[in-house]
Every structure is written in C-alpha cells, then in structure tokens.
Amino acid sequence: MRAVICNAFTGPEDLRIGAIDEPKPASDEILIDVCAASVSFMDHLLVSGLYQMRPPTPFVPGTEASGVVIAVGDKVTRFQPGDRVACASWTGGYAERMIAKEWKSVRLPAGVGFETAATVWHNYGTAYYALVEGARAQRGETVFVTGAAGGVGLAAVDLAGHFGLRVIAGVGSDDKAGLVRSYGACDVINYRSEDLRERIKSITGGEGVDVGFDNIGGTIFEQMARLMRWGGRLMPIGFTSGQIPSVPMNLPLLKNYSIVGVFTGAWAEKFPEQAARMNDTLAQLLAEGKIRPHIDRVLPLEQVKEAMRAVANRTVQGRIVLKMR
C-alpha cells in the first residue's frame, strides 16, 4: 500500500512516498481504510526528531486520520467493518490504511465528512482535556489562548466559548484576528506588535487571567507567568517557539496560582476509558454543531512536504488536511 515514509529524523524535506506492507490489527485494534489525515505541529516535530518521543525508523507519520473500518481485532466490541471513524495514533495516518486502538477511535456522527473528522480529536481533545480536566475552568472565567489561530489554539477558543469563558486570543499576525473573533474571542492581542503585559492588564482591569493556555512557550510563557490572577491555572500545552521557558517559582507562590502540565496523549494512554468518554462527548458536540473545526486547505498526499512547511512557518489557520485518494 502507499504511504509517506520517514527514514530519518531530518525533517519533512526527506519524507518520501513509497510502498509498505499493510498493517495487521492486534486484538484491541481496528484497521482503517484512510480517507483523510490532518497535519499537525506534532507531526512536524516527530519527523524532525524534536518531539519527546522517537518512534523507530522507518515509520509512517500522521497522528490523526479518518476513514472506514475494514477489519477489527477479536477483542474489539465498539466497531465493526463498514463503520465510519476518526482515530488518533502516535504514527501511521499518512497511509492508505492504518491501525488504531479501539479506545483511540470514535464513530463519526451522520453528516460529518472525513476531511472535517480528521481535524477534530487531536485539536479538540487537547483543548477539552486542558480546559476541563487540567484547569477545571468555570463559566465566567477569563482564558488567554496563545497561538489562537492554529489547530489546538482555535479549538481552545471554540470550546472555551461553548463553556462560557471570556476568551482573549493571542496571535502572531494581524491577518489571523478575524478568524479568532469569528470563533468567539472577545479580545485579540498581536503579541509580536503589541505590549502583551500592558494589553492583558488593560483588558482585565489589572487582575490578570484565570487560565493561561499556552501553545508557544519561550518568552510568551514567561510573560504569562506574571499575568495570572490569584488562584489561576497556567498551562504549558506546547513549545512551538522552540524555546522551553523557565519560571521563577516565587511568581506562582505570590498569587497562589498553579502551573498545570498538559500532555493529553500520555493522559489518554493512562486513562483510556476516560479518553474514550471524552471522544464520545466531542462527537456529540460535533453532531450538534456546537464545535466548528476549521480547515485551512485540503492537499493531496503528494504535497505532504508543502503541508509541513506551512505548519512550521505558522501560516496555517486551523488545520491542513491530506486527502488520501
């Protein structure tokens, strides 16, 4: 079968499309005929050797995909051949067929297309876990989301509005402001051209934010550490700046705020039943039109390098989707 192959951790330019053997599902796995797969910053980090885990090479990238079940393991009870599903996996999505754990998969609501479905569970799963499980966010609280026009950031803006939070969206360019406002952001800050500290103080009346949802890291996170409200929750989600920040620990001490790490993939591995329930909740929200995944563009599999370059250069709003056929 056809697949994108990563032979070494040298980045997207060395990816190639080739033929590999079809994977075989284990007893708790399903085999999926892939229709669409999304391209995330995590995928870029994986093929570049910059993620916290390194799969053995060669491997097929792709952490999220959608398609039709064609076979199931003998312990699988939730799915059968013919089901339309979306799934998450550490690798394997950029191929004509992939395997996924039963509990990392979800049946698609009627009317939801494969391209949309391929963008939901990584983005919205991360945002949901962070806001609900990590921050225990409450209606009326203020959340500041950095990288707010990206896949995970935009999902956080969308879900936060659904939960009744006041959303301040942080973006790196003015052309992204319209999108995040259309998803419910009350205020937008361009942290490359505006003084982040002064703007947050002005917006919050000097009180700071209840929840910090940071995808960027580096100096942005370090500034956020000084902009938290008493009893707030500051969450490192990712480090797309390439810089892992350091925080003087007197800052959370003085305002009794918490720094809450968010690694949704590891949580899902440890608590698969809870993760499956979260996926079902997201499917219900999607079916009811209460969340709105945003697709930047759809590209053929052959343009995987272009897709990853766009993600790395932060020109993507929402997600790029690769169409398998």
Domain shared by 77 and 109, yes or no: yes
**Half-sphere exposure of residue 204, counting CA atoms within 13 Å on the CB side?**
25
What's the CATH code of the domain at 163?
3.40.50.720
Domain shared by 38 and 55, yes or no: yes
277 within a domain of the structure (yes/no):
no
- Model pLDDT, residue 126: 95
Range of the domain at 76: 2-119+294-323
Rounded Cα–Cα distance for residues 1 and 19 (Å): 5
148 within a domain of the structure (yes/no):
yes
Domain shared by 218 and 201, yes or no: yes
Q: Contact, 195 vs 171, CB < 8 A?
A: no
Domain shared by 139 and 226, yes or no: yes
Domain shared by 103 and 78, yes or no: yes
- Model pLDDT, residue 242: 81
Domain shared by 128 and 256, yes or no: yes
- Model pLDDT, residue 187: 97
- Model pLDDT, residue 174: 94
DSSP code string of 240-292: TTS------THHHHHHT-EE----HHHHHHH-HHHHHHHHHHHHHHHHTT---
- Model pLDDT, residue 52: 85
9 three-state secondary structure: coil
Whether the pTM exceeds 0.85: the reply is yes
Which helix (DSSP H) or strand (DSSP E) does residue 84 occupy?
strand 84-88
Domain shared by 114 and 128, yes or no: no
- Model pLDDT, residue 53: 87
Domain shared by 138 and 98, yes or no: no
Which helix (DSSP H) or strand (DSSP E) does residue 5 occupy?
strand 2-5
Per-residue pLDDT of the chain (325 residues; tens, 9 = 90+): 999 999 999 999 999 999 999 999 999 999 999 999 999 999 999 999 998 889 999 999 999 999 999 999 999 999 999 999 999 999 999 999 999 999 999 999 999 999 999 999 899 999 999 999 999 999 999 999 999 999 999 999 999 999 999 999 999 999 999 999 999 999 999 999 999 999 999 999 999 999 999 999 999 999 999 999 999 999 999 888 888 999 999 999 999 999 999 999 899 999 999 999 999 999 999 999 999 999 999 999 999 999 999 999 989 999 999 999 8
Structural domain total, the chain: 2
Helix spans in 85-132 (H):
114-117, 121-128
103 three-state secondary structure: helix
Domain shared by 52 and 104, yes or no: yes
Looking at 265, 280, 302, the residue that finishes a domain is 265
Nearest CA to 241 out of 79, 41, 1 is that of 41
147 three-state secondary structure: coil
Domain shared by 182 and 83, yes or no: no
